[in-house]
Amino acid sequence: MLDGWSLRVLVEVGRRGSFSGAAEVLSMTQPAVSRQIAMLERHTGVTLFHRRPRGVQPTEAGRAAIEQAMAVLDGMSLFETRLRAFASADIGRVRVTAFPSAATRFVPESFRRFAADHPGVELSLKVGGPDVAFPVTADLAEGAADVALLTSWGPVPDPGLEVLDLFDDELLVALPAGHPLAAGERVRLADLAAEPWIDGTHPDGLAPVAQLRAAMGRAPRIAHLCDDWNGRQGLVAAGVGVMLHPSIAGMAVHSGIRLVEPAPRLPARRISAAVLPAPGRPSAVSAYLRVLREMSETYGRMAPTSRPP
């Protein structure tokens, strides 16, 4: 039966062009390498190398065998690396799916903090657009993601997933800096009934906020639909509309925008992280979840309506 060591001997003989060269690299004797190749030839029933006075040369079958052996050895190496990732938080990968407002500040900040302590872990982010329904828990079940950031505005996640509550996300109102109502710390929602509103992709849109309609006495007049978070801020700064601004997006905004508290205050949405259950979860993913929990304390303090996770 073939084994990994036999395949490595085959590859090294092909690379070095001699039994003695392979023996030196593999810390073997030249006769031992020669015997190993002879055993492979007997096992496969084909000649793998032409023996020459000054070395060896792969036969056509030998070249095919070497190419296949390299692919097998690469696969074995990947196999070991993937399994080690479950035991170590310093290798592996963490793939995150998130909604647009979470990707503006919260996720980048979490990546910065995590990478500082785990530089060997590969991080990646997938942000949902207008054609992506949230929560993206299907990616978790299919193995295409490791962590999905969710809001309480979405459907209930699959019961087979573990959901970790992080913090409550306060909703502010973003007004153009030169707007007459932007000078104070709070704005009456009733005073914004006639304003053009900017809507965006769920769960960063206006549809789930029934209290907004009630406070204004009418449905918000949607003048612009923009799925890009920076584009929405640009529209507000240009003075062509107002929008809701969740605290998860951070307090640092476009210089032409002023953030104020709505009156009455709108209900916060709960931010959570969905993951596969702990048994078998890679250590790097568990380490990333710890970073999210640490950050939730800061973001929770930013939002007056927050409750401890």
> What pLDDT, on a 0 to 100 scale, did the predictor assign at position 125?
94
Q: Domain containing 282 — which CATH number?
A: 3.40.190.10
Has residue 308 been placed in a domain? no
Is residue 89 predicted with pLDDT exceeding 60?
no
259 and 177 within one domain: yes
- Closest C-alpha among 249, 265, 264, 260 to residue 151: 249
Q: Are residues 143 and 287 in the same domain?
A: yes
Amino acid 58: pLDDT: 92
For the chain, the domain total comes to 3
For residue 69, the number of C-alpha atoms closer than 13 Å in the C-beta half-sphere is 22
CB 49 within 8 A of CB 57: yes
- Asked if residue 285 and residue 148 are part of one domain, the reply reads yes
How far is it, in rounded angstroms, from Cα 179 to Cα 176? 5
| Whether residues 132 and 188 fall in one domain | no
Average pLDDT score over the chain? 85
- 143 and 281 share one domain: yes
**pTM of this prediction?**
0.66
Domain span at residue 23? 4-84
Q: In the block, which residue shows the tokens 């392979």? A: 22
Same domain, 160 and 280: yes
End position of a domain, from candidates 45, 66, 84: 84
Query: Mean per-residue pLDDT for 158-180?
Result: 89
Average pLDDT over residues 222-240: 91
Q: Identify the residue with better confidence: 287 or 82.
A: 287
250-294 pLDDT, tens digit each: 876 788 999 999 999 998 899 999 988 877 778 889 999 999 999
Whether residue 309 is contained in a domain is answered as no
pLDDT digits (tens, 9 = 90+) for 29-54: 999 999 999 999 998 899 999 998 88
C-alpha–C-alpha distance, residues 284 and 184, integer Å: 45
